[in-house]
């Protein structure tokens, strides 16, 4: 299933690329794409596992840029 998140305070393309790489490595994520211009993270993941995947995504984002807030779009 496809999920879209808003990445508030995403400030550079390098951070967007690093977040995309990190999220794609999370078990259960089939694919992830970060669009810097729209500050959106779009991912394909198993619907039954999304509740356990979302905290892992947030943790990855905080490691890269602690000030970025993730919320469902």
pLDDT tens digits along 24-71 = 999 999 999 999 999 999 999 999 999 999 999 999 999 999 999 999
Domain count, the chain: 1
Please report the pLDDT score of residue 22 as a whole number. 98
- Could you report the per-residue pLDDT of 4-24, keeping only the tens digit for each? 999 999 999 999 999 999 999
- Predicted TM-score (pTM) above 0.85: yes
Q: Which domain holds residue 26?
A: 2-72
CATH (domain of 51)? 3.30.70.100
How does DSSP assign 30-58, residue by residue? EEEEEETTTTEEEEEE-GGGHHHHHHHHH
Tell me if 43 sits within 8 A of 29, measured CB to CB.
yes
Please report the pLDDT score of residue 13 as a whole number. 96
């Amino acid at each position: 299933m496809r999920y879209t998140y808003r990445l508030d305070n995403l400030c550079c393309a390098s951070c967007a690329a690093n977040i995309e790489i990190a999220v794609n490595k999370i078990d259960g994520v089939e694919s992830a794409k970060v669009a810097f211009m729209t500050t959106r993270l779009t991912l394909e993941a198993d619907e039954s596992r999304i509740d356990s995947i979302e905290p892992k995504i947030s943790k990855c984002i905080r490691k890269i840029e602690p000030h970025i807030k993730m919320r469902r779009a």
